[in-house]
Amino acid sequence: MATVRLIEYENATPEVRAVFDDIKRTRNVAGVNNFCNALANHPMTLKRTWKSAREVMQPGALDPLTKEMIYVAVSVANNCNYCIHSHTASAFAKGMTPEQYAELLAVVGMASETNALATAMKVPVDSQFLAEAGK
Amino acid sequence: MATVRLIEYENATPEVRAVFDDIKRTRNVAGVNNFCNALANHPMTLKRTWKSAREVMQPGALDPLTKEMIYVAVSVANNCNYCIHSHTASAFAKGMTPEQYAELLAVVGMASETNALATAMKVPVDSQFLAEAGK
Amino acid sequence: MATVRLIEYENATPEVRAVFDDIKRTRNVAGVNNFCNALANHPMTLKRTWKSAREVMQPGALDPLTKEMIYVAVSVANNCNYCIHSHTASAFAKGMTPEQYAELLAVVGMASETNALATAMKVPVDSQFLAEAGK
Amino acid sequence: MATVRLIEYENATPEVRAVFDDIKRTRNVAGVNNFCNALANHPMTLKRTWKSAREVMQPGALDPLTKEMIYVAVSVANNCNYCIHSHTASAFAKGMTPEQYAELLAVVGMASETNALATAMKVPVDSQFLAEAGK
Amino acid sequence: MATVRLIEYENATPEVRAVFDDIKRTRNVAGVNNFCNALANHPMTLKRTWKSAREVMQPGALDPLTKEMIYVAVSVANNCNYCIHSHTASAFAKGMTPEQYAELLAVVGMASETNALATAMKVPVDSQFLAEAGK
Amino acid sequence: MATVRLIEYENATPEVRAVFDDIKRTRNVAGVNNFCNALANHPMTLKRTWKSAREVMQPGALDPLTKEMIYVAVSVANNCNYCIHSHTASAFAKGMTPEQYAELLAVVGMASETNALATAMKVPVDSQFLAEAGK
């Protein structure tokens, strides 16, 4: 159960409806998801989040599926229940194969293990890694 | 300063040297990095980690650069200093462009923000996301 | 389902009942919440936690609502389901308005995004920030 | 050492300089901080982040100091070295007293402890907390 | 609801069945748990994870119960719902007493609190702690 | 560089000196560590933290070394630089062998990996694990 009301289209203000309309048009969907209904309690946050998502997730130097898989990886590491479900579903909708998903998870798991080991032992960063940085 | 000694090739046991040799051959590098020198304190962990890394990071349904960028994303979310440096350097070495890196970071940042918002509001997962799962 | 039994007043030892009575009196409530019922499995932890909470959350240089909002922010960042619900409810009970709640969440989200970006790029701390420290 | 170059004003493009100028004017400072110099590698992210920060951190239902203390709390929970330093310094610059800082930290510490305990025991959320939600 | 199908023995490939058989024999149980059924979607990950678990969790310099309690502590800190439940149950099955469990949780809670405080204040590490390291 | 001054014995108030004296007597050390010097900025927090540490870390159903290793595990998962160093050093001082340390880290790494995998796939908890809970 959410800590806020989910604001549906029919109960939304014109300001919120305009954002919902833009989301539906852009994503070509019949309705917005619960996250947007929740954000609608604060139109300023809804607008900013939607604007950022559109800008960040658009095709660019990385293709949309790669971006979506990175989104899943971060959501897993941050343990966000909603985002794991929604972005895993989005990645499948964008063509992620079961084999790609399995390899994505394998990398996430492996990274989590070595992250813990390197952090535990406070391994100093090799100078060649630093030398690469900011070139 | 590490919590363990960094074991260099010259001070390593034959068991550890065999792993170091395999790493150097596989990665075509002159020496192993500090993380491997640290893991060498426990040959069983060194061997297992190297074996897993080789298996998980090999080309498959996902290409090596995509895997490396996912590794960076997880390392950032887990805040591993060593891994952020080493895997960002590896991604650049595998051809990541500055523009790809910038977009990778933008996705990581955006995901972190919406992860926090969805978690804070305890947004219930939309049924269509669940319906997709496990199909 | 909890990993421990929830110990209700009627099944509690006199030692635990004394703490429950103190909580009910101090908070002016009819019963303690599930977290206290769970902690009651280890009276020493129940007593210590209650004593700390009373000391830390009392009005001081920060007012109780500000403290409660900080509690919510940390619980979101740590992703504690129980604490997000209980402390968000407490903050509303202490007078948090929907607009304050929305701004609290916006800050939590924004911070999570820039935390990730600064961590990813390993931005060195500006000397003026360090100079301020510990003055 | 950062993973990106820090782009100073003199080396910045006109597009980036315009953002730097706006930051300096709005914050009434002589120069931007390292985080902005790092973000300048990707003008789109610099612009978006600055725009969001200005919107989110402006005075509203919460005063700027309260927002800054919430920012510190989240940065601690997310363990962002740069953000802990920069936002703690900002909070002091906005008038946070040592006593307020001490109470802020006490709440952050206490929350972290009970977050862990509630998570460990999987304490079910009390129905009255859920009933409050979304009213 | 999982994001993958749970693959039961009767629907498993011979390759997966062989791993399931080994797990059942080694742990002396009638069936594998849901985590293994989920991992079975990617036989390579199932095999690697099972091999690692068997190697890491075997009796050694630390006894199995101590290892299991450390597993619980990490799962709490990482907030993994499944792992908290499964490894807490395993620890009880290996003889953990309620009093030991209570003390385990008290340490986890205390550590989480001082972790936050030390991180918030950026306390420099005492030289004697560094001197001890790697001896 | 800390965000607070480190308060040494000679500059401490009588109230703080009394706590420092108690720590030195109890731990049989010549001086307190930097964490205590930092906490001394807020005597109430110093006293509460010391009192909690003494109570939680005393020998009980778990021996002091086991408690210390659990403290290390949590500090790694929470990524606390100071606490990783100080509690790893404490564990060695309490007799942890290099082999025990290596196994501790192996468990922490393994747990971090399976935590991520179980979280990513949202594996439902097996009923037998829930049935065990709270018995």
DSSP of E45-94: HHHHHHHHHHHHHSSSSS-HHHHHHHHHHHHHHTT-HHHHHHHHHHHHHT
B-F CB pairs within 8 A amount to 23
| Contact: D42, B105; criterion CB under 8 Å | yes
| Cα–Cα distance list, F98 to A62, B41, B50, D7, F104 (Å) | 45, 8, 21, 45, 10
8 A C-beta contact, residue C73 and residue D73? yes
A74/A90 same-domain check: yes
- End-to-end CA distance of chain C, in Å? 48
C28/C4 same-domain check: yes
Instruction: Examine residue D132 and state whether it is found in any structural domain, yes or no.
Output: no
F69/F120 same-domain check: yes
Amino acid identity of C80? Answer: C
pLDDT in tens, C2-32: 999 999 999 999 999 999 999 999 999 999 9
The total domain count for chain A is: 2
Which residues in chain A are closer than 8 Å to D3, comparing Cβ atoms?
A: 133-134
Question: What is residue D132's predicted lDDT score, i.e. its pLDDT?
Answer: 57
8 A C-beta contact, residue B36 and residue B46? yes
Cα gap B120→D128, rounded to integer Å? 18
8 A C-beta contact, residue B125 and residue A86? yes
Sign of CA dihedral B28, B31, B37, B42: positive
Which residues in chain C are closer than 8 Å to B84, comparing Cβ atoms?
A: 119-120, 122
Question: What is residue B131's predicted lDDT score, i.e. its pLDDT?
Answer: 73
Last residue of a domain, one of A36, A58, A80: A58
| Contact: E45, A79; criterion CB under 8 Å | no
B103 min Cα distance to partner chain E (Å): 26
| Contact: E105, C44; criterion CB under 8 Å | no
Chains within contact range of chain C (3+ C-beta pairs < 8 Å): A, B, D, E, F
Question: Mutate which of A103, A105, A112, A130 to test chain B, going by most B C-beta atoms within 10 A?
Answer: A103
| Cα–Cα distance list, F3 to B89, C100, D75, E119, F36 (Å) | 31, 28, 14, 10, 14
Question: What is residue E130's predicted lDDT score, i.e. its pLDDT?
Answer: 86
Owner of token pair 């009819």: C30
Cα gap C68→C74, rounded to integer Å? 10
Nearest CA in chain E to D69: E120
Nearest by Cα to A51 from B113, B14, E32, F104:
B113
- For residue A1, give the nearest of D52, D56, D130 by CB distance: D130
A4/A49 same-domain check: yes
Residues of chain B with pLDDT under 50: none
| Contact: E44, B52; criterion CB under 8 Å | no
| Contact: A73, B78; criterion CB under 8 Å | no
A71/A49 same-domain check: no
- For residue A3, give the nearest of C88, C103, C106 by CB distance: C88
- End-to-end CA distance of chain E, in Å? 48
Question: What is residue B67's predicted lDDT score, i.e. its pLDDT?
Answer: 98
- For residue E102, give the nearest of C45, C74, C78 by CB distance: C45
E97/E80 same-domain check: yes
Which residues in chain F are closer than 8 Å to D93, comparing Cβ atoms?
A: none
Question: What is residue F77's predicted lDDT score, i.e. its pLDDT?
Answer: 98
pLDDT in tens, E97-118: 999 999 999 999 999 999 999 9
E75/E90 same-domain check: yes
Nearest CA in chain C to A48: C106
Instruction: Examine residue B110 and state whether it is found in any structural domain, yes or no.
Output: yes
Non-local (6+) Cβ contacts of D47 within 8 A are D19
| Cα–Cα distance list, E101 to B117, D113, E115 (Å) | 33, 16, 21
Instruction: Examine residue C132 and state whether it is found in any structural domain, yes or no.
Output: no
What average pLDDT does range F1-26 have in this prediction? Answer: 97
Instruction: Examine residue E99 and state whether it is found in any structural domain, yes or no.
Output: yes
Instruction: Examine residue F110 and state whether it is found in any structural domain, yes or no.
Output: yes
Last residue of a domain, one of E41, E58, E75: E58
Question: What is residue C1's predicted lDDT score, i.e. its pLDDT?
Answer: 85
Question: Mutate which of C1, C4, C46 to test chain E, going by most E C-beta atoms within 10 A?
Answer: C4
Nearest by Cα to D58 from D49, D70, D50, D67:
D67
Non-local (6+) Cβ contacts of F50 within 8 A are F19, F22, F23, F36
Q: Is the pLDDT confidence value at D24 over 70?
A: yes
What average pLDDT does range C107-114 have in this prediction? Answer: 98
What average pLDDT does range C54-72 have in this prediction? Answer: 98
> Please, which pLDDT band fits residue F131 given cuts at 50, 70 and 90?
confident
Which residues in chain A are closer than 8 Å to D37, comparing Cβ atoms?
A: none
pLDDT above 70 as % of chain E: 97
B48/B68 same-domain check: no
Nearest CA in chain C to B86: C120
Owner of token pair 């206290």: C36
Instruction: Examine residue E38 and state whether it is found in any structural domain, yes or no.
Output: yes
Which residues in chain B are closer than 8 Å to F103, comparing Cβ atoms?
A: 42
Instruction: Examine residue C129 and state whether it is found in any structural domain, yes or no.
Output: no
Cα gap F14→C71, rounded to integer Å? 32
Q: Is the pLDDT confidence value at C132 over 70?
A: no
A80/A102 same-domain check: yes
CA D36 to chain centre: 13
Determine whether E29 is exposed, middle or buried from the number of CB atoms within 10 Å of its CB (0-12, 13-18, 19+): exposed
Question: What is residue D1's predicted lDDT score, i.e. its pLDDT?
Answer: 85
Question: What is residue C134's predicted lDDT score, i.e. its pLDDT?
Answer: 52
8 A C-beta contact, residue C116 and residue D77? no
F50/F74 same-domain check: no
Non-local (6+) Cβ contacts of C128 within 8 A are D89
Nearest by Cα to F85 from F46, F126, F34:
F34
Question: What is residue E104's predicted lDDT score, i.e. its pLDDT?
Answer: 98
Q: What token pair was written down for D36?
A: 């902005």
Higher pLDDT, E125 or D135: E125
E77 min Cα distance to partner chain F (Å): 6
> Please, which pLDDT band fits residue D89 given cuts at 50, 70 and 90?
very high
With vertex at residue B73, the alpha carbon angle to CA A75 and CA D109, rounded to the nearest 5 degrees, is 65
pLDDT in tens, C116-125: 999 999 999 9
- For residue C85, give the nearest of D61, D102, D125 by CB distance: D125
Q: Is the pLDDT confidence value at A8 over 60?
A: yes
pLDDT in tens, A19-48: 999 999 999 999 999 999 999 999 999 999
Amino acid identity of E46? Answer: L
Cα gap F128→C1, rounded to integer Å? 12
A84/A50 same-domain check: no
Non-local (6+) Cβ contacts of C6 within 8 A are C34, C37, C38, D123, D124, F134
Question: Mutate which of A92, A100, A117, A125 to test chain F, going by most F C-beta atoms within 10 A?
Answer: A117
Higher pLDDT, D133 or C18: C18
Q: D72 lies in which domain range? A: 61-122
Average pLDDT, chain E: 96
- For residue D109, give the nearest of E79, E84, E117 by CB distance: E117
Which residues in chain E are closer than 8 Å to B6, comparing Cβ atoms?
A: 134
Q: Which residues of C21-50 are buried (b: 16+ CB within 10 A; e: fewer)?
A: eebeeeeeeeebbbbbbbbbbbbebbbbbb
Last residue of a domain, one of D43, D58, D73: D58
Q: What is the CATH number for F25?
A: 1.20.1290.10
What average pLDDT does range F78-107 have in this prediction? Answer: 98
pLDDT above 70 as % of chain C: 97
What average pLDDT does range C99-115 have in this prediction? Answer: 98
Question: What is residue F47's predicted lDDT score, i.e. its pLDDT?
Answer: 98
Non-local (6+) Cβ contacts of F48 within 8 A are C52, C55, C56
Q: Is the pLDDT confidence value at A135 over 70?
A: no
Question: Mutate which of B7, B39, B45 to test chain F, going by most F C-beta atoms within 10 A?
Answer: B45
Instruction: Examine residue A76 and state whether it is found in any structural domain, yes or no.
Output: yes
- For residue A85, give the nearest of E3, E41, E79 by CB distance: E3
Chains within contact range of chain E (3+ C-beta pairs < 8 Å): A, B, C, D, F
Average pLDDT, chain A: 96
DSSP A78: T
CA F110 to chain centre: 21
| Contact: C76, B114; criterion CB under 8 Å | no
Nearest by Cα to F8 from A94, F80, F17:
F17
pLDDT in tens, E56-108: 999 999 999 999 999 999 999 999 999 999 999 999 999 999 999 999 999 99
| Contact: F133, C3; criterion CB under 8 Å | yes
E97/E116 same-domain check: yes
| Contact: F3, D109; criterion CB under 8 Å | no
- For residue E133, give the nearest of B2, B44, B135 by CB distance: B2
Nearest CA in chain F to C133: F3
